[in-house]
Amino acid sequence: MSDQRGFAVDPQAVHAFGTGLRHDLDVHLSSEKVQTLHVFSQTPGFGTRALSEDVRQAARNYHARLVELYDVMDALLYNGAALARAAHTIADAYAESDTLAGTDIQRSLADARPAVTADATATDPDTDRPI
């Protein structure tokens, strides 16, 4: 087991993930959804006028599954886009926290500089030699 605590985040890599995900959604899944909608909307329905109730029921089930497929694709697109936005928000927050931490460290060092300088010029009162 490691003694290291915490974790490291590479904001640029998180941004790249969000950008790549958004690209994949736009180029692949979005276009697949549109293409699927066109294919199935232009395909004539089957079995809706069949004499057999079993065939008509199969046609209704098929239609219901298509609607569910579109709903799943919508949910994937929506949630994927939300994840991509969240990745950018998280990366920005980490970068901002790094900047704030760096500013706090610089301020602390600046505040400590006079004390360090004073200690560097201190002398022993008895011998007048640097301490």
Q: Is the Cα torsion angle 2, 6, 8, 14 positive or negative in sign? A: positive
What DSSP state is assigned to residue 68? Answer: H
Helices of type H across the chain = 11-24, 30-41, 53-120
Q: Which of 42, 60, 40, 41 is nearest to 50 (CA)?
A: 60
Residue pLDDT, tens place only, 108-120: 888 888 877 766 6
Cα separation, 130 vs 52, in Å, equals: 106
Q: What is the pLDDT of residue 69?
A: 85
CATH 1.10.287 describes domain 11-112:
yes
Give yes or no for residue 7 having a pLDDT over 80.
no
Residue pLDDT, tens place only, 75-87: 988 999 999 999 9
Residue pLDDT, tens place only, 47-67: 888 999 999 999 999 888 888
Dihedral (C-alpha) 112, 118, 120, 123: value to the nearest 10 degrees? -150
Give the model's confidence band at 4: pLDDT under 50 very low, under 70 low, under 90 confident, else very high.
low
Structure tokens at 108: 């602390």
Q: Which of 63, 86, 71 is nearest to 17 (CA)?
A: 86
Is residue 70 a contact partner of residue 37, using CB atoms and an 8 Å limit? yes
- Does this model's pTM top 0.85? My answer is no
Q: What is the pLDDT of residue 1?
A: 52
Residue pLDDT, tens place only, 8-47: 889 999 999 999 999 999 888 888 777 877 777 777 778 8
Is residue 59 a contact partner of residue 45, using CB atoms and an 8 Å limit? yes
